[in-house]
């Protein structure tokens, strides 16, 4: 009986190992070299395409340079220009990267030696909002028959100190993202994509302007505690 069990064990291992190897190979093969380059971030041409040189892309707005896994969706594509799709891919990256950074900051405020629960909550919400923005963009791209490809997310290498420093960082970063959205809007207008410009205005541009105003207000309040910043920050945190 014991020998039989060992035999069965060995046989199933012999079966499982080749199957796993074959499976991994299949996954490897589904990534072509361009995918690799994109993931490694070492293809400057691809990165430049995203934000700087939309005019040099093919005029047809079709999928020549698109990732290879886009088969089967392009039949719903109409007036959805290549440049717009590239722009939206860039905005997805902005949102996911920002969500990641805000999450890190949220848990900085949660540390026992920092302990600012109001800031923790505020940053958690901001992080969640960015993640939702990214999913909204992905759903929109699918609806229009485009494609997207997630890029590597790089953590922000910064040291977080006070609530004021974080809010100032957020303000600067939100302005940067707003600029990117304005540019995406411009690219969409160039191909007369009214559907996309409407979507961008309603879902992203307007809310972002509101958020930037809110951050500006918070910064003014925190700066007014110049005599005893720590006490001021503590009181401010309770209200967040
Ligand atoms: C992704 O987004 C982040 C945050 O906006 C930005 O710093 C980074 O450069 C972007 N990466 C690429 C490859 O565009």
Site to substitute for ligand 1 among 37, 46, 91, 94, most atoms within 8 A of C-beta: 94
Q: What is the pLDDT of residue 6?
A: 58
Tell me the CA–centroid distance for residue 75 and ligand 1, in Å: 30
Q: Whose CA is nearest to atom 2 of ligand 1?
A: 94
Q: What is the pLDDT of residue 25?
A: 40
pLDDT beneath 70, residues of the chain: 1-76
Q: Is 174 marked as a binding-site residue?
A: yes
Tell me the CA–centroid distance for residue 99 and ligand 1, in Å: 12
Kindly provide the b/e burial profile for residues 65-94, where b requires at least 16 CB atoms within 10 angstroms of the residue's own CB: ebeeebeebeeebeebbbbbbbbbbbbbbb
Q: How far apart are CA 31 and CA 66, in angstroms?
A: 13
Q: How far apart are CA 102 and CA 139, in angstroms?
A: 23
What are the residues whose beta carbons fall under 8 Å from the beta carbon of 168, sequence distance 6 or more? 219
Q: How far apart are CA 140 and CA 135, in angstroms?
A: 8
CB neighbour class for 222 (10 Å; exposed up to 12, middle 13-18, buried from 19): buried
Residue 93 gets the label, from left (phi > 0), alpha (psi -120 to 50) or beta, of alpha
Site to substitute for ligand 1 among 49, 93, 158, 184, most atoms within 8 A of C-beta: 93
Measured from CB, residues less than 6 Å from any atom of ligand 1 are: 41, 47, 50, 90, 93-94, 97-98, 151
Residues 50 and 89: beta-carbon distance below 8 Å: yes
Q: Nearest-CA neighbor of 133 among 180, 193, 167?
A: 180
Q: What is the pLDDT of residue 21?
A: 45
Q: What is the pLDDT of residue 51?
A: 41
Residue 172, CA atoms < 13 Å, CB-side half-sphere: 6
Q: Nearest-CA neighbor of 91 among 99, 101, 80, 103?
A: 99
């Amino acid at each position: 009986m014991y020998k039989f069990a060992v035999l069965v064990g060995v046989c199933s291992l012999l079966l499982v190992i080749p199957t796993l190897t074959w499976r991994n190979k299949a996954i490897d093969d589904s990534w072509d070299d361009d995918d690799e380059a994109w993931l490694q971030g070492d293809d400057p041409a691809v990165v430049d395409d995203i934000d700087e040189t939309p005019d040099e892309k093919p005029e047809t707005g079709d999928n020549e340079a698109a990732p290879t896994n886009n088969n089967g969706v392009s039949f719903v594509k109409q007036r959805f220009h290549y440049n717009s799709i590239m722009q939206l891919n860039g905005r997805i990256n902005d949102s996911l990267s920002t969500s990641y950074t805000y999450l890190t900051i949220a848990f900085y405020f949660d540390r026992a030696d920092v302990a600012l629960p109001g800031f923790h909550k505020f940053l958690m919400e901001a992080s969640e909002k960015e993640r939702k923005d990214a999913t909204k963009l992905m759903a929109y791209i699918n609806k229009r028959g485009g494609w997207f490809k997630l890029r590597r997310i790089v953590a922000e290498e910064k040291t977080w100190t006070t609530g004021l420093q974080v809010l100032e960082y957020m303000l600067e970063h939100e302005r940067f993202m707003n600029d990117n959205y304005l540019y995406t809007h411009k690219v969409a207008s160039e191909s007369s994509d009214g559907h996309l410009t409407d979507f961008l205005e309603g879902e992203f541009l307007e809310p972002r302007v509101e958020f930037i105003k809110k951050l500006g207000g918070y910064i003014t309040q925190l700066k007014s505690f110049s005599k005893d910043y720590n006490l001021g920050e503590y009181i401010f945190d309770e209200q967040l």
